[in-house]
Every structure is written in structure tokens, then in C-alpha cells.
Structure 1
Amino acid sequence: MKLRLSSRLLSLALAITLPLALSPARAAAPLAPIRIGMIDGLSGPFANAGEAVVRNISYAIERVNARGGVTLPDGKHLLQLSTFDNKLGVEDSLVQFRQLTDERIPFLIEGNSSAVAAALIDAVNKHNQREPDRRVLFLNYSAVDPTLTNEKCSFWHFRFDASADMRMQALTEAIKADTATRKVYLIGQDYSFGRQVAKAAREQLAAKRPDIAIVGDELHPIGKIKDFAPYIAKMRSAGADAVITGNWGNDLTLLVKAARDAGFKAKFYTFYANSLGAPAAIGEAGVGVVRAVAEWHPNAGGNPGSPSDAYYQAFRQRYPQPKDDYLYLRMQVMIDMLAKAIEKAGSADPKAVAYALEGAQYQSAFHSATMRAQDHQLIQPLYLMQMQRADSGGIRFDNEGSGYGFRTERFIPAEQTALPSSCRMQRPPR
């Protein structure tokens, strides 16, 4: 009887004390992370571009998580990145999108192909209509075909890069002022983005410099050309004194290498000559003649010790290898704006976050931007840059240890980069 009573007392004591002992551990358990799924090319000829995106997104997420993550009513949640390799193909992207939705990841990011982005917009629209309890929000960091925020605009898609038309406007303003340019050759990748770049170049040059002759206009298979020497020979034969290209990744690097090897002296007006091996490939031949356009660049700060310099130097400390030296400010902007929109919405629900992003503003010590509600196109400043030797003065940072960097030639305020949109967006009820 005494033993039975002792057992009962022990059981009662455990019933009282065990929850108390476990409650601190239960309270300290981390909250579920907010997941972001990246679908992009992580293998194949453009793997270097995909790897650069992973570094930049990871860095942006680390910065948000270092300040505690995202605050929701139940506490702070960390952001978490998952990657899905689409080999830069549309069909592979749709397969990876199904995997992403199976894992119930609410935020999709992609950008290194406008063709992929167009397919994903359609897939997201259909998925969200079919499964409203498992919606996905698509954040686009680099797919710049203007149709994505015009004819194909979607409530579920936001673009954080300038469109091809916006970038081309910056380039053609420089060409307009360059009276020595008389013959222009257009070359690009044969997919939606490359075709849009050529279309924008033709239209804008006709309006701004009708005296310029377009002496070549061709598209090449994306990621398939190993030797661009025949294309450079055509440019030389046509008497081109300037080349406009939207090429990126290895298609840009190999193009400018071929120009350098052939001693081709024309000016190159590019979207991406400041990135991914291009400066080293261009080398001395690019000094003073190669231009690129972006929302920011490492030498944009103007003065040593500026907030812009500090931001870039922190990235270089995190990724010290020269091959990793390419920082996309727009990806930091995208992750920061997403985090703040989640907090404003008080939820990671894609619909609530989308409404919170509309009209949202970004402000740092050296950059500002606004997400235009009409078409979900980010409006931000652009820089037109000219390539120079790092030791020429005014170049504090070179690119990828190449000895060459870029100097601001023209700063275009945000309001001057904005273009009209034909978007007629259908929005779900709040």
C-alpha cells in the first residue's frame, strides 16, 4: 500500500514538473523559416551566371537573417533559400516549378532567361487559380523582356531589374551624343530577350539618330557558339564603328574575346560588359570604348569611404575570390523589399505580400527605388559606365582582379528611366 501511494505521488509530481521542465525548450524552438525557391541554370554553359546569383541571393538573405530575420506576429522567422536547376530550359523549369509547389514554397525567384520567366508567369497564374491555398509569388531579378510587365503582366509577378527598353534608352542616349558613331551592328541571342533588344535598338536609334545606318542585325543560338570570329569578320566587313548587344554570360565573354583577338576597334554598347569575366576578356581593347548599363556599380559611390564603397567591400570580404567578384545590388533590393513586405502584410501569404509590395519603396544610404503598382516594374536609377584601366584615376575597384573597372559616364535618375506600360492587370479580391 505504501509502495502504491509513493508511485502515485511520483506520477503526480512528474505530471506537474515535466511540462514546466520542457516549456523553456519548447519556447526556444526556432520558428519555421520562410522559404524562397530559386529556379535557374546551375549547370551547362551558363552555370557561372547561376552561381553568381546564388552567391548574391545568399548574401542578401544572410544580411536579413543577421538582423533577426522577418518579424511576424508569432515572432522572428529566418529566410531560407532552396535552389532548383533548370539547365536554363523552359521544360526543365516547369518540372522544377512542380517540385517547388510540392514543397509548398511560397516565393519563387528567377531571372536568367526571359523565355523561362514568361513560361513561369503562365505556370504561376494557372497554379494560383487552381490551388488558392498554395499560391506562389514570382520575384524576377533579371529577365528583362518588356512584355513581362506589359502584355504578360501578372499580379503574381514583380520585376526588380530595368527592362530591356529601359536599359536601351540609357545606351541610345549615349550614342545620340556620340557624333562619331555612324554605323551600328546589332548582335544578340536568339530568344525573346535578344529579339527585344534588337527591336528596341532599331526603334530608339531611328527616333534619336536617324542618320545612323544599321549595317548588321543578327541573332545567334544561345549558348551554342564557341567561336565568334566569323561574326566579328562580318562586323569589320560592314564597316561598323559601334556594336550593340544584350549578350550575357559566356556568349558575351566569347564575343568580346573574339573582337579583342581580331583587333576589332569598334565601340561596344552592352548591357552586361561589366560582369562575369567580360572585363578581363576585353582587356586593353575596351578602355574608353566599352560601355555597360546597370542599376549600380562598385565605383558608383564617388568617394572613398562612401556607403556604396562599404557595401561593396563587405561583399568582397564575404566572397574574396576574384572569380566571385560580381555584386548585383538589385538582388539585395529584392530580398530587402520582400522581407519588409512580409512584415507589412503580417504574413507570408503570397497574396498579402503582393499587395504590400505594390507601391513599396526602398531606401538605403546610396540607392532608392519604387515598385510601380501599375505593372510591378521596379523604378530605380541607372548608371551608364565606361571601361577604364584601374590605375587611370577615379577607379577604386577593378572587376574580378582584371586591372580594369568602370567609371560613371552618365547617371540617369529613377524618374527618367520610367517608360509607359500597357499593362492591364487583373487583381484578386483583397
Structure 2
Amino acid sequence: MGVGAGQAGRALAQTPATPIAAPAGEPIRLGLIEGFSGPFANAGDAVWRNILFAVERVNSRGGVRVGGASRPLELVRLDSKGQAEEALVMLRRAADLGMPFVLQGNSSTVAGALAEALERHNDREPGNRMLFLNYSAVDPVLTDERCSFWHFRFDAHAGMRMRALADALAANPRVKRVYLLNQDYSFGRQVAKLAREMIGARRPDIAFVGDELHPLGRIKDFVPYAAKIRAAGADAVLTGNWGNDLTLLVRAAREVGLDADFYTFYGNGLGAPAAIGEAGVDRVRAVAEWHPNAGIAPAQRIYEAFRAALRDPRDDYFNMRHVVMIEMLAAAIEAAGSTEAAAVARALEGRTHRGEPYEATMRADDHQILTPLTVSVMRRAGPTAGKGAPTFDLEASGFGFATERRFEAADTAMPHRCAMRRY
């Protein structure tokens, strides 16, 4: 069932900015296919808030100019329940409603199914083609051997993120024994494989004392896993877990008194900072394209506007790449002068976004975004936390993240094996 942007429920307070000129043309509909129910509903809702905010930024300045008319973007909510089969049903619904763009990101398995189905749909119905914008499904194969002309990824893939995280881990002399714990699906298996390769190349002295996969979204009690990690004598845990699988893991680690550093892809939100608490200070690290204390002035202004619009401070989980994605899509539509999928795809290929919040380039060869990456470490936040403390906390937890290492976009690029069919 699709839900329009005006029916989002507890999302954002009304945007205070007054539109320069209210867009009056036919809305350009973006179908957001996510798990809004099921074990990862909190992650789906967080994505909705982020992308709705980015859409409202574009609409508040007049929308998207197409064929002489200013058209608003309209975000439509399509619940996949976090399942690939349901996601394909929602893709069919988006096609039936004539939506030119679909968005998804939570789960690389779902993203792979959508990309394959979209290839078939676009071949079968050339008059009703769609583009797939991926904001967080980071299995490298999606822009490598399984790349598609109709798929664009706006997040650094797992190899890019792991290279940054491995550099940070290798520089930590305290780390001698690493435990790998990941979700048992394509992304989690890639994280484990990449961790062994990249950490091993940088620090051959490090021992891997565990390498375990667990069912995705089905573990309610991670205490046995945390106890096993502690018994293995690990001084660091590396995990690509996200959503409740991460929150419950770090909560269990605290319960068993696990004294280890955490190197994570997503430890900077969705309940993780509050779950970890004081035990995470100087111990928990995350890798992302941006974080609230990164010191990038244009991005900070955007983040402050998002934070001011929240009805509940516990919903303060923001990914700046969603803003970049919507800005680049709007610019590509205007450059193409059309919402037709192939025309917009060609306008997106090779495009560099040079405005707020930061510069990013969509590599034409494989449709992989090239952005900066930052490894940040958890600290107590606020003016009473001492010199050098992060200004912003996350989700009203009292804890924020501070930059430990930064990598420019040119340094995050990796080779690919994409040989896509072009249109």
C-alpha cells in the first residue's frame, strides 16, 4: 500500500521555510520501497524521515523545472516488510502507478532482486521504464559484475567503507585479536571476507579469533554471542550489522561486560549510542560519508535544519547522502528536460554535485558514487563534556562522534568489473 508524503505519521514537524514559488505542475513520484514493518521497521522509518526532508528541501525552493513547469517531488511509501518477495510486489505497484523512480537501500539481497527485476521490466515495457536509486545497499557486486544501467548507488560500497575502517583499525596498537560477527546474507558475508583480506594485509600480526554469521533480523538475544566474543579474548569486534541487529548486539556486549573496541559500519545511530552508553567512549567507531561533528559548514546547516524539524529528538539519525541523492536526481531531471528513465540516467552518469552539502561524483562506468568517507569515534558530547567534545549528540543519547580519520573522494575510489549494457 502506498502512502503519500502528507501521511507519514510521526516523521518531521512542518518545514518552517516558506517556498520561493510553490511548484504547481504534476508531481514527480518517487516510490520508496522499504521495510516499514517487521524487524527493521525502525531503519525504514529513519530512511523515510531522511528522504522526506531532502524532498521537502527541493520543493521549498520551487521544485524541479521540467518542460517549462515547476514540478514538486512526491515521496510515496511502499512497504516491503524487509522481504525481497514483498519488495518485488511493491516494484510492480510502482510500475502500475507509472512512477519513474524507485528508491531502496536496507538490504543488498532486496536491492539485487529489485535491480534484476527492473532490467526485465524496462526491457518488457520501454514506455514505462524506471530508475533504481540505491542509498545504502552496499554489496560491491551491485556496481561490479551485476551492475545495471538502471541502477545508481549513492553510498560507498562495502569495499570502500572497509578500506577506511581497516586503515583505522590497523593504526590502533591496542588491537591484537579481532572477532568478526555479521548478518548471514550477501552483505554480511562480504564484510567478513573484506575484513580478513584488508586487515590481514595491513596488520599480519592480528589474529582473527572468531568469524561468525547469524540469521538476519531473527536474533532477539545477543548475550550468547557477546559471551562467546568475550570468551575468545577479542579486543576488537568488527561488524557490518545494522538496525536492531546492531542495537541488540552492543546492548548485549554491555550486559556481559565485554571490554573491546567496536569497528562498525553503522554504530552511530538507530539506538546504538544509547545502548552502548559510557562503555563506548573512545571504543566505538563508525564509517560514513559524513557525521554531525565533521566540521563541514554547508552540511552542518542542513543537519541543523533537519534536527530543528524533528518532533522527537530520539529520531535524530541523519545520513547526508540522502540529500546528495535527491539533489543529484533533481539536477539530472532538469538537465534531461524529462523524467524519462533513460534520459535521466544519461544525465546522472558522470555528474558531479558541487553544491551543498559536499562534492560527490557519480562514476559513469559503474554508477557508483564517489564521496568522502570519515571514520569517527564515540565521545561524550556537549559543552560540559570537556575540551574537544563533539558539539552534537545523537538521538538525545548524550553521546556523539568525533572525526578520527578522513578520506577524500579521490582516495575512496576502487576498481570495478562492470560491463553494463547501455541504452
TM superposition score normalised by structure 2: 0.92
RMSD (Å), alpha carbons: 1.2
Which residue identity is paired with 1:165? G
Q: Distance in 2 between matches of 1:153 and 1:193?
A: 16
Q: Distance in 2 between matches of 1:392 and 1:199?
A: 39
Confirm whether residue 51 of structure 1 aligns to residue 42 of structure 2.
no
Q: Is the 8 A contact 1:301 1:307 kept in 2?
A: no
Equivalent residues in 2 for 1:225-244 (5 A)? 225-244=219-238
User: What is the aligned counterpart of 2:112 among 85, 95, 118?
Assistant: 118
Confirm whether residue 135 of structure 1 aligns to residue 143 of structure 2.
no
Q: Is the 8 A contact 2:299 2:320 kept in 1?
A: no
Q: Is the 8 A contact 2:324 2:357 kept in 1?
A: no
Which residue identity is paired with 1:308? A
TM-superposed CA distance for 1:365, in Å, is 4.7
Q: Distance in 1 between matches of 2:115 and 2:298?
A: 36
TM-superposed CA distance for 1:74, in Å, is 3.1
Number of the residue aligned with 2:339: 348
Q: Distance in 2 between matches of 1:237 and 1:314?
A: 45
Q: Is the 8 A contact 2:138 2:157 kept in 1?
A: yes
User: What is the aligned counterpart of 2:374 among 377, 380, 383?
Assistant: 383
Q: Distance in 1 between matches of 2:205 and 2:91?
A: 47
TM-superposed CA distance for 1:170, in Å, is 0.7
Confirm whether residue 205 of structure 1 aligns to residue 196 of structure 2.
no
TM-superposed CA distance for 1:366, in Å, is 4.7
User: What is the aligned counterpart of 1:287 among 263, 267, 281?
Assistant: 281
After the TM superposition, which of the residue ranges 384-393 and 265-274 deviates more from structure 2?
384-393
Q: Distance in 2 between matches of 1:402 and 1:297?
A: 15
Confirm whether residue 400 of structure 1 aligns to residue 395 of structure 2.
yes
TM-superposed CA distance for 1:320, in Å, is 4.0
User: What is the aligned counterpart of 1:323 among 303, 314, 317?
Assistant: 314
Gapped regions of structure 1 (runs ≥ 5): 1-27
Which residue identity is paired with 1:101? A
Q: Is the 8 A contact 1:187 1:245 kept in 2?
A: yes
Secondary structure at the aligned position of 2:147 is classed as coil
Q: Is the 8 A contact 1:286 1:387 kept in 2?
A: yes
Number of the residue aligned with 2:153: 159
Secondary structure at the aligned position of 2:224 is classed as helix
Number of the residue aligned with 1:416: 411
Confirm whether residue 168 of structure 1 aligns to residue 162 of structure 2.
yes
Q: Distance in 2 between matches of 1:272 and 1:407?
A: 15
TM-superposed CA distance for 1:301, in Å, is 1.4
Identity percentage of aligned residues: 60
Distance 1:93 1:365, change over 3 A: closer
Q: Distance in 1 between matches of 2:238 and 2:218?
A: 20
Gapped regions of structure 2 (runs ≥ 5): 1-21
TM-superposed CA distance for 1:393, in Å, is 3.3
Equivalent residues in 2 for 1:23-172 (5 A)? 30-172=24-166
More helix by share: 1
Equivalent residues in 2 for 1:177-256 (5 A)? 177-256=171-250
Q: Distance in 1 between matches of 2:312 and 2:294?
A: 22
Q: Distance in 1 between matches of 2:71 and 2:310?
A: 25
Q: Distance in 1 between matches of 2:164 and 2:38?
A: 31
TM-superposed CA distance for 1:29, in Å, is 10
CA offsets 1:57-102 (integer angstroms, 9 cap, x no match): 1100100001110001231111001111001101111111111111
Aligned residues: 398
TM superposition score normalised by structure 1: 0.91
Distance 1:365 1:85, change over 3 A: closer
Which residue identity is paired with 1:335? I
CA offsets 1:176-234 (integer angstroms, 9 cap, x no match): 11122111000011111111111110111121111111110011011111111111111
Q: Distance in 1 between matches of 2:228 and 2:60?
A: 52
Confirm whether residue 268 of structure 1 aligns to residue 262 of structure 2.
yes
Number of the residue aligned with 1:425: 420
Q: Distance in 2 between matches of 1:90 and 1:406?
A: 33
Q: Is the 8 A contact 2:33 2:79 kept in 1?
A: yes
Q: Is the 8 A contact 1:301 1:366 kept in 2?
A: no
Which residue identity is paired with 1:326? Y
Q: Distance in 2 between matches of 1:402 and 1:40?
A: 26
CA offsets 1:290-316 (integer angstroms, 9 cap, x no match): 1000000000116xxx33332211111
Q: Is the 8 A contact 1:379 1:418 kept in 2?
A: yes
